[in-house]
Amino acid sequence: MSLPQESADEQADPLDAFRQFFALERDVLVLSVAMFAFSLGFQMTGRYMAEYMSALGASVFVIGLFGTFGNVISAVYPYPGGAISDRLGSRYALTVFGFCSTLGFGIWLVAPALADVTVGPTSLAIVAIFLGLLLAQAWKSFGLGATFAIVKQAVPPSQLAAGFASTETFRRSAFLVGPLVAAALFAPFGSSNSAVLAAFQLLLLVAVAFGVIGTVIQHVRYRSDEDDIGKEFEGVSQLLTDLRAMPDELRPLLIGDTLVRFANGMVYVFFVLVVTQFLEVGLSLSLPVVGTIALSPQSYFGLLLGLEMVVALLTMVPVAKAAERVGLKPVVALGFVVYAVFPVLLINAPADPAVLAVLFAFSGLRFAGLPAHKALIVGPAERGAGGRVTGAYYLLRNVVVIPSAALGGLLWDGISNPLTGAQVFAGDPVVAFTIATGIGLVGTAYFLLFGEEFEAYR
């Protein structure tokens, strides 16, 4: 992909992604529109999926399995995605991935119509939810390593965090808009299962529409002749070589990061259930002209996600700049701490909308460390090898994190002896979230003790 390159003595501009967009540079515009469209679809639907599945009759454990299934896809998709891109070329690969994601949203949309058809102990609707995820995540599998490599090549080493802040700020603007759209669409509905299904199907209609728009635009308008994304895949032997060649400096970060992400994976998919079912917190506002506005817990959850992302967008760039003075390691550790302690704070919070607003605003700080985290991953890589190092790092981390959501579901829902049916553990959401925080804090402590600073930031 042909992107404007900055010379080594130029400053990485955290607002450059927006300037490129409004300057209508063709390749940047096309991929930015697609990125925004699909990110919007994912953010409107993904964070509510546990609520949708619960309304369809799924148990907490099955919802946990859904989260684990998503972890499997995240771990195994990138390398096959690279092979498909190599075979089809970037333009057609993007089109195929976009079509698959849109089809996945469509399968989620029609799932309730299959609720009365049983498949073993569950319904065909739940099976359709899993099948839809297999397709919906297709577009996200494209270009992760290439994005890291492009940023590494485009900015001087001492400003990698600011370079990543630029791309993260643009991409996560959809993370802000998506939950707010969800909150607005949930607002006219109640909290019953039928209301949740109706509201969520509206969200899915919007997601399908954006998926179609993103797919069509990227297929019709994407013409970059110099695009070389997806042409470096060399098979399993290359993957094994990359894993063995991972810089030693990354190993403490990888271990700490994996523990923190495993902890987050245990509870992430259940955040919506904590707000809507465990705490059952909505919001009632009295406005001078409008009168009283009552928001259901489902609608309020969307506002909380929006607040979380506002904090993320406001802090990401300043924190990335601060990393140039204090180093990457303290900033990454800050993000790890927020990841770790948020679950135990949330599950023990009082059923008060103001308290939840403060907690989700605090949660937004975990995103502030992401640009520095990415810089710490790709920084030690040799020039020209950033994409492969990134791919190897994320593959290892994501494979280990795979069972986390299922474990969280077991701890929440309880564990029974499969032979006798006797209950071994009754299940407790507080226990699940507390254990998650404990694992996250262990990962944070390990990184603080053994993690290394990237030389350019010392």
SS (H, E, C) 200-259: HHHHHHHHHHHHHHHHHHHHHHCCCCCCCCCCCCCCHHHHHHHHHCCCCCHHHHHHHHHH
**294 bridge partner residues:** 284
- The CATH number given to whatever domain includes residue 347 is 1.20.1250.20
Contact between residue 317 and residue 161 where contact means Cβ atoms under 8 Å apart: no
pLDDT at 321: 79
Residue 297, CA distances (Å) to 136, 181, 300 in order? 26, 15, 5
Residue 126 located in a structural domain: yes
Domain that holds residue 243: 16-222+233-457
Note whether residue 2 is domain-resident: no
Domain contains 138 = yes
How far apart CA 10 and CA 158 sit, in angstroms, is 11
Q: Does residue 228 sit within a domain?
A: no
Q: Residues with Cβ < 8 Å from 317, sequence gap 6 or more?
A: 14, 15, 162, 165, 169
Cβ–Cβ contacts within 10 Å for residue 22, how many? Answer: 8
Please give the angle made by the CA atoms of 447, 310 and 308, to the nearest 5 degrees.
Answer: 55
CA 217 to chain centre: 24
The pLDDT assigned to 147 comes to 45
Give, to the nearest 10 degrees, the angle between helix 353-363 and helix 297-326: 40
Tell me whether residue 8 is in a domain. no
Residue 3 lies in a domain: no
pLDDT score recorded for residue 8: 40
* pLDDT (0 to 100) of residue 286: 79
Examine residue 64 and state whether it is found in any structural domain, yes or no. yes
Give φ, ψ of 291 to 5 degrees: 100, -155
Look at residue 229 in the predicted model and tell me its pLDDT. Answer: 43
Low-confidence ranges of the chain (pLDDT < 50): 1-12, 14, 17, 20-25, 27-28, 143-147, 149-150, 153-154, 226-233, 384-386, 456-458
Structural domain count of the chain: 1
Beta pairing partners, 415:
425
Distances (CA, A) of 142 to 78, 100, 229: 6, 12, 9
For residue 1, being part of any structural domain is answered with: no
Radius of gyration of the chain (CA): 22
**Selection from 287, 299, 285, 279 nearest residue 188 by Cα:** 299
pTM of the model: 0.83
